[in-house]
Structure formats: C-alpha cells, structure tokens
Chains A and B, each alone.
Chain A
C-alpha cells in the first residue's frame, strides 16, 4: 500500500492567454513510515502537487494512485482518498471556524461519520498527539495564540487519522521552537507508520528531517534522493531560487579547497572533516 504519482501534468487556464504549466511529467512514490520532503521555490508547483494528492485537483494527464485507488471525479473514491490523505494547508489556522477547540477538531471525523464516544476519543487523541492540554477542549479557538491555533488546525486534520499526511509549508511563520516541536511531531507520526509528505522551500529543514527529498523546479522534478544523495547532487544541478544552506556551502568549500571526502550537512561529520583538514595542514 503506497501513494504513487505517475507522469502527472497539470496546466492552469489551459487554452487561454494566461495558460501556465504548473506541473510537467512528475513521477514519484511514497511509502508509509517515511518523511518525504518536496522542496521548491515559490511558484514551482509544489502547492498544485499537494492539491493533487487528495483529489482537490484531478490530473489532466497521468495519474495519482493512493492505496490502489486512482483520483478521479468519482465522489465515492474521492471521499475514501480524502479520508486517508490528510492535507494541512499553508497557514491552516485560517480555516478555523468553530466555537470550541473540540468542535473544530471533531469537524473532520464527524464528516467521515464518527459519532459519540469514538468521536470524543479521536479529538482527545489528536490533542494529545499535538501537545495540546485537554483543558483546551472547551476553549474558544479564536482567543488562542498563533502557535496554539496552528496546533488546533493540525490536530483537526490528525483527528481523521489519515495514513498519509501532506503538509504545505507547515513551519511558515513559526519561531524556532515552534519549528522544532513540529519536526518532532512529524517524526513521531512517521513512527506510527504514517507517510508524511512535507512541502517546503526550506532545504536545510528538509535535509535535517527527511528520509527522502524531491526537488521541484518550474513544475518539473529535478532531483529525487536521500538527503545525503541530494547533498552530493546540489553542487552539480543548479536549481533556480533554491538557497543552499550555509552548512552545505561550507562543506562544498572544504571539498574544493582541501579535498575532503564527503559532502555533508551533519555538523558532527563536518567538524570531523575540519579537524582532519587542520591535522593535514599542520
């Protein structure tokens, strides 16, 4: 059981003067229990890709298959797919509408047909998972702080217990400790055999937390590999608008000037390399 995208292409306003090719021949697959990061600059098509993953957009050519079900316009299939693929939009706190936190979080599972104790349990589980105290359940979500609102919004997606969790720029606007908490959550999700698809423009974050990274540029897939493979590749492929993390730049410089072996984004390995360089220079 997995999520696979085969030769997916999508064009906005097809046939009009404002036509824009958002995705071109994208293929990849994602397994349960891994964190897959999709990295791309603004306008690279990554949000369009996210909307394809739970059938908000239907492929114009190619296909998206989730646990053996193809996304098409059949409402029954779409319902199943949306239940198993949770999508957290950018600034998810903007979707909050309910009077209490527990009403907000129960919106998803209620729509999927859950009632009574099972529904309540889902809400409390989701709140615990995201690190919200149970006392928040009766609070008014509009009176919470920004970070708390975002947690409520993410919990409202988690409450549907999706097998695939797609997050579009979940760290946007969060402070450093917020980012750390979120990455911890993503890691704990993937331990639960959930597939986490993390969409971001932050290459450094992606390198730190992912099992695999896809790089998207101008709607096409330019790279697909593990963080270390991607680190090696980045010096060769020039991706528009993608800023190299400082640590990788340093690693490249070391390799160029002193001929160190591996490109790495791991600070410990880099420290070892610098130590080795120092010894040889002496």
Chain B
C-alpha cells in the first residue's frame, strides 16, 4: 500500500560544498537577516538581486533547480490566495476589471505581484537552509542560537534535543504507520471509499495502535537515555563541536556586502 508515500520530510541533500560545510549558526544568522531584508525589499531590482543570490547559492550547493522549485510547492496556495486578496482589496483608481463588487485595480496587481514574489523568495531562501544543513546540525545550531536565552530560563538544550528526537523518529513512525495500515487493510479496512467523515473514521484503527506504539517507544527511549546517564545539557560535550572559522567570517562579510547593495537598491533603485 502506498497511502503515505510521496510525503517527504526533511529535504537535506548531502553534498560537498562551501555552504554545506558552513557552521549552522552562521547559516541561521544569515537566514534570519535575509528574511527581514526580503520583507523590507520593496522594489523589483532588489528582488531580482535576491533571486540571483538564491540561484547562486543553489548552484554552488549543487541543489537541482527542480528540487528547489518543488520546495515552495506546499505554500503556493497561500501565495496565490494572498495575491488575489491584494488584487481585489488594495483599492486605487485604475480599475482593470471587476467581478460583481470585487474591483481589480492596477495598483493592487502590482502590490499582489510584489507580495507574491516576496513570499516566494522567502520560502526559497529558507529552503536553502534545510537543503544544505542536516537536521542534527540544524538543531545544534538552534541550541547555540537559543543559548543566550537560557539565562532567562529558556530550556535551549531540551528544545534542541526534542527537535532532534522528533526528526529522528519521523521515518520510523512512517514505517510503523504503513505496517499498521497494511494489517488493517488485510482485515478489510477501507480507507478510500465513502465520504470525508467515513474516511476519517476509518483511520481510527490506525491512529490508536500508532499512539500506543509512540508512547511505548518514548518510554523505551527515555529508559535508554537514562541508562546512558543522560541528564540534560549541563556539562555535556559534543563529538563534533561547532567551529566558527575563517570560512564563516568570509561568508558573513560577503553577505554584509550583499546586504549593503540590496539596501542601496531599495533606497535609490
């Protein structure tokens, strides 16, 4: 049965590239700054520069264009929806056409195009991060990024550990789900016919055993961690410590130069 195939999670693409080897903290920082900057980029020249920047990184990291495009697919609906809202509700005097009370203005269309492009660039840029950073590196980076907040009682290590465990168990749970589905289908369960409610109900015999398994697994994992003397983040060292070297400095410098160009373009472009 291939009811749940086609769902891909964690899109890390291992490769040997400058961006793959970069410290995750550096990549996180750049991503966050870029998100802010992309939102501030109002005009089309600045956005074109962003597009070039994204294509440059993708090329350098050996990410196929197809995979990059696909990564934005889940939020395409959202982009289209917001664009439509902008077209019809921005207001303005140059009405292009109208459907009943809805009036599409020229100003609205430009705004819609700008907002759509902005969202699209935003998603592509964050996708670059997940393409070039393995889940474990990502959670290491997040732990370091949240580090300063531990002072205010934020459990940075625990949150990062939870993320790592969650990511680690996604494939396992998919496997188990498939096995349970197979077992119930063998007993005549029918997941494909009937209305929405009937179909949702059909999944009860899958969800209950799955929850039971998840709780059991969590229990076993907790015991195994305790048996190996895990006691939280305090005094814990890493097998592969994060290192901030010249590559990170160069990347950051390059990024700041790029930022300056973008900001200038924004102002005077």
Query: Which positions in A face B, CB cutoff 8 Å?
Result: 51, 54, 56, 75, 79, 82-83, 86-87, 89, 92, 94-98, 107-108, 110-112, 142, 156-157, 160
Contacts and interface: CB of A to CB of B under 8 A. Distances in A.
Interface residues of B, number: 21
Contacts, number: 60
A94 B186 contact: no
Given A56-B1, A89-B182, A95 B209 contact: yes
A222 to B, nearest CB: 27
16 contacts: A56-B182, A82-B186, A86-B186, A87-B186, A94-B212, A94-B213, A95-B180, A95-B187, A96-B212, A97-B209, A107-B184, A108-B188, A111-B189, A112-B188, A157-B186, A160-B187
Contacts of B183: 87, 89, 92, 94-95
Interface string B199-213: 000001110110011
Contacts of A97: 204-206, 208-209
B45 to A, nearest CB: 41
B209 A94 contact: yes
Given A56-B1, A96-B209, A97-B205, A51 B182 contact: yes
A54 B205 CA distance: 20
Interface in B87-124: none
B190 interface: yes
A108 B179 contact: no
Contacts of A51: 182
Contacts of A54: 186
Given A82-B188, A86-B186, A111-B188, 17 more contacts: A51-B182, A54-B186, A56-B1, A83-B188, A87-B186, A89-B183, A89-B186, A95-B187, A95-B205, A97-B204, A97-B209, A107-B189, A108-B187, A142-B212, A157-B186, A157-B187, A160-B187
A172 B185 CA distance: 22
Interface string B37-59: 00000000000000000000000
Interface of B: 1, 176, 179-180, 182-190, 192, 204-206, 208-209, 212-213
Contacts of B206: 97
A94 B182 CA distance: 12
A156 B185 CA distance: 13
A139 B204 CA distance: 20
Nearest to B204: A97
Contacts of A89: 179, 182-183, 186
Nearest to B216: A94
Contacts of B205: 95, 97-98, 107
B187 A94 contact: no
A97 B209 CA distance: 5
Contacts of B190: 111
A156 B190 CA distance: 16
A111 B187 contact: yes
Contact of A160 (B176, B179, B188): B188
B188 to A, nearest CB: 3
A193 B183 CA distance: 24
Nearest to A51: B182
A178 to B, nearest CB: 20
A74 B178 CA distance: 21
Counting chain A CB atoms within 10 Å of each CB, the highest count among B1, B182, B206, B212 belongs to B182
Contacts of A87: 183, 186
A98 B213 CA distance: 15
Counting chain A CB atoms within 10 Å of each CB, the highest count among B176, B180, B187, B208 belongs to B187
Nearest to A86: B186
A54 B187 CA distance: 10
Contacts of A79: 188
A172 to B, nearest CB: 14
Contacts of B176: 94
A75 B189 CA distance: 12
A107 B209 CA distance: 14
A98 B205 CA distance: 8
A153 to B, nearest CB: 9
Contacts of A107: 184, 187-189, 205
Contacts of B180: 94-95
